[in-house]
């Protein structure tokens, strides 16, 4: 691995060397003292450090998700534990975020090695046992909740989200072009606006499914 | 780091797990460093999930998607949401395309006319002819007004030219006067030292604020003060003004705050006196700003002049 300016000494390889995530968890668990030291490294005041910690963890979860890890949260926590352990051992880490990403990539290599031991071509893999349509949630209830959440949006935002994601391939492209003209904004801005509304809607629908308030 | 361009297909390949590790690291590092790129990746993910739900993916992509996406509960939730969203958007009324709208407007206009009887159609046609004639008259009238405006503009330019000539003549007269003063100074130094010369320059706003001209100011050997007046437009009714004098290279020479507008005949102007020693031969720019309490300074114009030191 190339020299990383974020690390004064030690490297993610050292942090992940030897054992897989499960083995490492058995050997070492995060203590209050180690967590406090980690937060002190992230910032001088507790609020800043807490915000930075959450940001690093969110990025780690995304990274493991992108790479197809089945338990991204668990792997993100394991990554942070290893980093905290290194700090507890007296390692000086200049950029904890970059360091954690390094550890995460080591863990992904371990995960990939474990998988390859039982590897077979993708074409030979069985169809997923659970089709997405039959996921744990009742689809009709999901639609019902989504409609409730849509009802909370302004007519303009509702119009945007419904038409932005409406149709297949060609229709979708035409719709999006018409929407950029209608709202007078560039395609990239429209895309980001639609994505933000979609994320809000998903959160609202999930709250509604769990019996919470449907606030979009 | 800012997003310069986003390769959508690269993002899709990344999400389907088809890049080399080196390429994966590049995409991830860019996403963590650039919020816009992260958003583009999230948007590409949403579109990929939608395509899967609507059965728009090729077989190989579909299998890669299932292998990669259905692994984690968070992503399964996203797929579940996409299914619900697809159902709701299908039920929504389609967005009419602009072309279709235009076509519909024309059809809506012509269809009732086709149903009219011949007499009504004739009356309609006459009405249309009157409208066309009226429109033509308006266009001709407009053209005539434009021509009148152009001639007024030409007259104004002519007056400006004459003003410029007068200024040059004044400048030459000043130079001659300085020559004479120098001679007088040699003969009677005590008198010359009591009467320092002032060089004056009037800067006029161009026809538009974007247009700039370069005026000339000659500073004689004995000149001690450069008096500059900038004519401002009546609408620039600010209580105070600031003038920032820079060289054309951008180096600040002097800055005057708290200047007030004053009437000079029919015109309004802002005046300032610069020590001649602060100016050397070269080109200068004055940035004039309007100041009002509680508001950010407003740029009113940029004026350019050349100093010729003798």
CATH code of the domain in which B222 resides: 2.60.40.2550
In angstroms, what CA-CA distances link B56 with A38, A163, B59, B61, B243? 46, 18, 9, 10, 63
B149 domain residue, yes or no: yes
Q: Phi/psi at A8 (nearest 5 deg)? A: -80, -40
Domain residues for the domain of B150 are 95-195
Mean pLDDT of B124-138: 84
Residues B64 and B111 in one domain: no
Residues B298 and B200 in one domain: yes
CB of B68 within 8 Å of any CB in chain A? Answer: yes
Q: What pLDDT does residue A5 have?
A: 33
Delimit the domains of chain A by residue range.
Answer: 12-117, 134-209
Please say if the pLDDT value at position B207 is more than 60.
Answer: no
Quote the tokens at residue A94. 């200049």
Q: How far apart are CA B257 and CA B242, in angstroms?
A: 4
CB A102 within 8 A of CB A86: no
CB of B65 within 8 Å of any CB in chain A? Answer: no
Q: What pLDDT does residue A119 have?
A: 52
B1 domain residue, yes or no: no
Mean pLDDT of B214-236: 84
Name chain A contacts of B95, Cβ cutoff 8 Å: 163, 166, 175, 178-179
Q: Which of A171-185, B131-145, B201-215 has the lowest mean pLDDT?
A: B201-215
Question: Which of residues B136, B167, B195 is at a domain's end?
Answer: B195
Q: What is the DSSP string of B105-129?
A: HHHHHHHHHHTS-HHHHHHHHHHHH
Q: What pLDDT does residue B111 have?
A: 54
In chain B, count of helices (H) and strands (E)? Answer: 8, 9
Please say if the pLDDT value at position B64 is more than 70.
Answer: yes
Q: Residue B17: left (phi > 0), alpha (psi -120 to 50), or beta?
A: left
Q: What is the pLDDT of residues B158-188, one digit of tens each?
A: 777 777 777 777 777 677 766 666 655 555 4
Q: What pLDDT does residue B179 have?
A: 66
Q: What pLDDT does residue B99 have?
A: 41
Please say if the pLDDT value at position B276 is more than 80.
Answer: yes
B258 domain residue, yes or no: yes
Higher pLDDT, A80 or B248: A80
CB of A54 within 8 Å of any CB in chain B? Answer: no
The whole-chain average pLDDT of chain B stands at: 79
CB of A39 within 8 Å of any CB in chain B? Answer: no
Q: What pLDDT does residue B201 have?
A: 86
Name chain A contacts of B85, Cβ cutoff 8 Å: 146, 165, 198, 201
Total domains in the fold of chain B: 3
Please say if the pLDDT value at position B93 is more than 80.
Answer: no
Q: Which long-range contacts (CB under 8 A, 24 or more apart) does B282-286 make?
A: B282/B247, B282/B248, B282/B306, B282/B307, B283/B214, B283/B247, B283/B248, B283/B307, B284/B245, B284/B246, B284/B247, B284/B248, B284/B253, B285/B245, B285/B246, B285/B247, B285/B248, B286/B203, B286/B228, B286/B230, B286/B243, B286/B244, B286/B245, B286/B246
Q: How many CB atoms sit inside 10 A of residue B19's CB?
A: 16
Q: What pLDDT does residue B194 have?
A: 41
Name every residue whose Cβ is closer than 8 Å to that of residue A173 and which is 6 or more positions away in sequence: none
Residues B156 and B69 in one domain: no
Question: Which of residues B195, B225, B248 is at a domain's end?
Answer: B195
Name chain B contacts of A127, Cβ cutoff 8 Å: 66
Q: What pLDDT does residue B299 have?
A: 83
Q: What pLDDT does residue B185 have?
A: 54
Q: How confident is the model at residue B22 (pLDDT cuts 50, 70, 90)?
A: very high
Q: Which of A84-93, A181-190, B51-60, B196-205 has the lowest mean pLDDT?
A: B196-205
Q: How confident is the model at residue B44 (pLDDT cuts 50, 70, 90)?
A: very high
Higher pLDDT, B2 or B298: B298
B3 domain residue, yes or no: no
Residue B20 carries which DSSP code? -
Q: How far apart are CA B230 and CA B212, in angstroms?
A: 13
* DSSP-derived pairing of the beta strands B298-309 and B214-219: parallel
- Per residue of chain A (216 residues), give pLDDT as tens: 333 333 334 455 555 443 345 544 455 677 788 888 888 889 888 888 889 999 999 999 999 999 989 899 999 999 999 999 888 888 888 899 999 999 999 999 988 887 666 655 555 555 544 444 445 678 889 999 999 999 999 988 998 999 999 988 788 888 899 899 888 889 888 999 999 999 999 999 999 988 866 666
Residues B76 and B99 in one domain: no
Name chain A contacts of B15, Cβ cutoff 8 Å: 66
Q: Which of residues 98-137 of A touch B (CB under 8 A)?
A: 101, 105, 122-123, 125, 127-128, 130, 132-133, 135, 137
Helical residues (DSSP H) of chain A, grouped into ranges: 12-16, 21-27, 32-42, 46-66, 72-88, 96-117, 139-151, 155-164, 169-183, 187-209
Higher pLDDT, B198 or B212: B198
Q: How many CB atoms sit inside 10 A of residue B82's CB?
A: 23
Whose tokens are 């959440």? That residue is A149
Q: What's the complex ipTM? A: 0.78
State the fold for domain A134-209.
Arc Repressor Mutant, subunit A (1.10.10)
CB A15 within 8 A of CB A83: yes
Please say if the pLDDT value at position B244 is more than 70.
Answer: yes
Please say if the pLDDT value at position B49 is more than 70.
Answer: yes
Higher pLDDT, B208 or B93: B93
CB of A184 within 8 Å of any CB in chain B? Answer: no
Q: What is the pLDDT of residues B2-18, one digit of tens each?
A: 445 778 899 999 999 99
Q: What pLDDT does residue B27 have?
A: 95
């Amino acid at each position: 691995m190339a020299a990383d300016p974020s690390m004064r000494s030690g490297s993610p390889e050292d942090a992940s060397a030897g054992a897989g995530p499960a083995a490492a968890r058995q050997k070492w668990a995060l203590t209050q003292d180690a967590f406090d030291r980690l937060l002190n490294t992230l910032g001088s005041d507790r609020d800043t450090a807490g915000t930075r910690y959450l940001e690093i963890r969110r990025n780690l979860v995304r990274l493991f998700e992108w790479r197809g890890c089945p338990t991204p949260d668990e792997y993100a926590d394991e990554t942070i534990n290893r980093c905290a352990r290194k700090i507890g051992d007296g390692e000086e880490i200049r950029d904890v975020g970059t360091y954690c990403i390094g550890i995460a990539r080591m863990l992904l290599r371990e995960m990939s090695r474990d998988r390859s031991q039982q590897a077979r071509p993708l074409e030979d893999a069985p169809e997923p046992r659970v089709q997405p349509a039959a996921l744990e949630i009742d689809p009709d209830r999901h639609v019902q909740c989504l409609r409730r959440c849509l009802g909370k949006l302004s007519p303009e935002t509702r119009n945007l989200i419904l038409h932005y994601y409406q149709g297949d391939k060609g229709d979708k492209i035409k719709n999006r072009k018409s929407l950029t003209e209608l709202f007078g904004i560039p395609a990239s801005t429209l895309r980001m606006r639609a994505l933000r509304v979609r994320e809000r809607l998903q959160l609202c629908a999930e709250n509604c499914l769990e019996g919470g308030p449907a606030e979009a | 780091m800012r997003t310069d361009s986003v390769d959508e297909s690269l993002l899709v390949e990344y999400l389907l797990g088809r890049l080399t590790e080196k390429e994966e690291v590049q995409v991830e590092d860019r996403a963590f460093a650039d919020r816009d790129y992260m958003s583009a990746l999230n948007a590409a993910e949403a579109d990929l999930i939608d395509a899967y739900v609507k059965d728009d993916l090729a077989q190989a992509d579909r299998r890669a998607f299932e292998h990669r996406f259905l692994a984690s509960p968070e992503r399964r939730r996203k797929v579940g949401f996409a299914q619900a969203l697809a159902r709701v958007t299908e039920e929504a009324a389609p967005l009419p395309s602009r072309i279709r709208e235009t076509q519909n407007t024309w059809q809506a206009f012509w269809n009732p006319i086709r149903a009219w009887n011949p007499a009504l159609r004739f009356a309609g046609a006459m009405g249309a002819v009157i409208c066309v004639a009226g429109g033509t008259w308006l266009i001709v009238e407009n053209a005539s007004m434009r021509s009148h405006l152009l001639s007024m503009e030409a007259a104004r330019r002519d007056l400006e030219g004459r003003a410029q000539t007068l200024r040059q003549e004044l400048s030459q007269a000043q130079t001659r006067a300085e020559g004479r003063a120098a001679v007088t100074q040699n003969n009677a130094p005590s008198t010359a030292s009591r009467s320092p010369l002032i060089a004056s320059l009037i800067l006029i706003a161009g026809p538009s604020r974007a247009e700039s001209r370069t005026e000339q100011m000659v500073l004689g050997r004995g000149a001690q003060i450069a008096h500059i007046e900038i004519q401002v437009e009546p609408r620039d009714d600010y209580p105070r003004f600031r003038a920032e004098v820079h060289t054309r290279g951008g180096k600040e020479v002097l800055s005057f705050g708290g200047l007030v507008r004053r009437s000079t005949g029919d015109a309004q102007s802002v005046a300032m006196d610069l020590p001649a020693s602060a100016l050397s031969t070269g080109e200068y720019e004055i940035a004039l700003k309007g100041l009002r309490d509680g508001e950010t300074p407003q740029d009113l114009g940029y004026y350019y002049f050349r100093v010729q030191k003798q």
